[in-house]
Structure 1
Amino acid sequence: MPHAEIYEHFHPDEKAFVDRAWEWVERAAELHQVRRTDFLDPRQAHILFTLANRHPDAAIRLDGGYEAAERRRAIVAPDYRPVEEEPIGIRVLDISSEDRRIKELDHGDYLGALIGLGMKRDKIGDIHPREDGCHVLIAEEIGDFLTSHLRQVHRAEVRASVVELDRLKVVTPELEEMAISVASLRLDGVASDAFRLSRAKIVDPIRAGRCRVNWKPVEDPSAPLREGDIVSMKGFGRFKVLAVEGQSKSGRFRVRIGKFV
């Protein structure tokens, strides 16, 4: 178990993952075990990286299959092991179709189809939907199952195959830009404008633990936002604070945000 002061740096909801991650680090450093994790979200990757760097005898590598990957697997190993040589175990699931409706499918449709087959989210990395299909980063161990069982996404019939990482077609997420004017950079104020909800209706989901800022749980509606922050609200979507463009004469902040579509 980590030293008590370590927990001070993390949200209480993250304690279970901190305990698990510290166990991986200790086993690598003290029992000379090599651990390959499932896909981690950016917050989990940050926690594991932080813990590994606190132990002088542990080494870590993070890899999501391509340079700008959001979700990544980790190799945690003794510091004498060359972690760059350890297999990361990531493949590309190539989903295609002759059905014209495939161009209407989005990230949520593909993720829903995979989860509907019993896949855990931890086994799935980034998802890159295109008009003619989709590439999904997956843990190599689920490849055979998916090629055998994935036959439909939403209402479109599909076929799936597994290809190597060098075949990956990366799709940069589209952002729907909005310019808003807010009294302050408080989370509830910016989020209410981003999601077009009253501040009263946005406060309850935040306090209920449905909001994350940069993948970290945030339950304080007054928490300040900064440029670059990514805010996700379960059931509403997510947005990025692209720029804070100064204050008007009345003291309101001009903010440019991008909603993920």
Structure 2
Amino acid sequence: MRTEIYDHFHPDERDYVDRASEWISHAGANHRQKLTDFLDPRQQYILETLAAKEDKVTIRVDGGYEASERKRALIAPDYSYLDNEDMGIQVLAISSDDHKIATLGHGDYLGAMLGLGIKRGKIGDIHVLDDGCHILVASEISDFITLHLQQVHRVHVWTELLPPESLRTKEVTLELLNLSVASLRLDGIASDVYKLSRSKILAPIRAGRCRVNWKVEENPSASLKAGDVISIQGFGRFKVIETDGMTKKGRFRVKIGKFA
């Protein structure tokens, strides 16, 4: 049975599949709730797919606000009512009187958090604001963060914990690129987006450092389509916004949104 489950997922996902399966099994058999860390969309999909095969559990996913990307999941026996359950999410508000805070980006804040020894799973969505940052965090480590986070990329900061309803969000800005590519292959589009030769983009893809829609993709010739979100470790993320026909020379017109 476990082999059949594995057939549907990438080999790199097997450890997570095992853990998710155990969460579901224990919730149904032992009548106990399980609150997960923050999960990316791919992990959420895997968990919900596995739970759909088990009629003894119910699941709620929540990231602190409706449009969240990263969410915590609450797994419980099927008779449970989860709408009013505490999902263990707080807003970490970061501010400073140093004007340099306006120059900080997503990576600076994430790096400062990880530098405290905090696991990525305890951190939800990060919203970089003009005057600081609001980060969704797991309640169980929130006090630790406020005690120890005093600096972000050499900028001294203050922190405050707020309820999720006090979250300030900022719409993601994308750098728009209009490309003309020979094909819709992953390696071809990625090399144009990152301005690298195709040979240099092959290494991270084949090394398993590329994800398409949060799923590991090691095939450089994989075809991309509108709506796909691609990330390559060390290079950033981009989204295929649309494919808009072909040029007279037979090349594909592609509109790309590159995450700042």
Give the TM interval when normalised to the shorter protein: over 0.9
- Give the Cα–Cα distance (whole angstroms) in 2 for the partners of residues 34 and 210 of structure 1: 34
Q: Which residue of 1 aligns with 2:85?
A: 86
Q: Which residue of 1 aligns with 2:31?
A: 32
Secondary structure (helix, strand or coil) at the match of 2:127 reads strand
Q: Does 1:52 align with 2:74?
A: no
Q: Does 1:8 align with 2:7?
A: yes
- Give the Cα–Cα distance (whole angstroms) in 2 for the partners of residues 65 and 145 of structure 1: 20
Aligned letter for 1:64? G
Superposition TM-score, scaled by structure 2 size:
0.98
- Give the Cα–Cα distance (whole angstroms) in 1 for the partners of residues 168 and 246 of structure 2: 41
Residues 123-161 of structure 1 show CA distances to partners (whole Å, capped at 9, x for unaligned) of 000000111010000001111111111111002110001
Aligned letter for 1:152? Q
Residues 178-237 of structure 1 show CA distances to partners (whole Å, capped at 9, x for unaligned) of 000111111001101111111111111100111000010000000010100000000111
1:1-261 maps to which residues of 2 (within 5 A)?
A: 3-261=2-260
Secondary structure (helix, strand or coil) at the match of 2:52 reads helix
Secondary structure (helix, strand or coil) at the match of 2:244 reads strand
Q: Displacement, 1:118?
A: 1.1
Aligned letter for 2:138? A
Secondary structure (helix, strand or coil) at the match of 2:42 reads helix
Count of residues in correspondence between the two structures: 260
Q: Displacement, 1:249?
A: 2.1
- Give the Cα–Cα distance (whole angstroms) in 2 for the partners of residues 58 and 180 of structure 1: 46
User: After TM superposition, what 4+ stretches of structure 1 lie above 6 angstroms from structure 2?
Assistant: none
Q: Answer with 238-247 or 79-88: which moved more.
A: 79-88
Secondary structure (helix, strand or coil) at the match of 1:85 reads coil
Unaligned runs of 5+ in 2: none
Q: Displacement, 1:3?
A: 3.0
Aligned letter for 2:202? V
Identity level (%): 58
- Give the Cα–Cα distance (whole angstroms) in 1 for the partners of residues 201 and 2 of structure 2: 36
Secondary structure (helix, strand or coil) at the match of 2:65 reads coil
- Give the Cα–Cα distance (whole angstroms) in 2 for the partners of residues 101 and 85 of structure 1: 40
Residues 160-187 of structure 1 show CA distances to partners (whole Å, capped at 9, x for unaligned) of 0101111100112110000001111110
- Give the Cα–Cα distance (whole angstroms) in 1 for the partners of residues 84 and 53 of structure 2: 22
Superposition TM-score, scaled by structure 1 size:
0.98
Q: Displacement, 1:66?
A: 0.5
Q: Answer with 247-256 or 209-218: which moved more.
A: 247-256
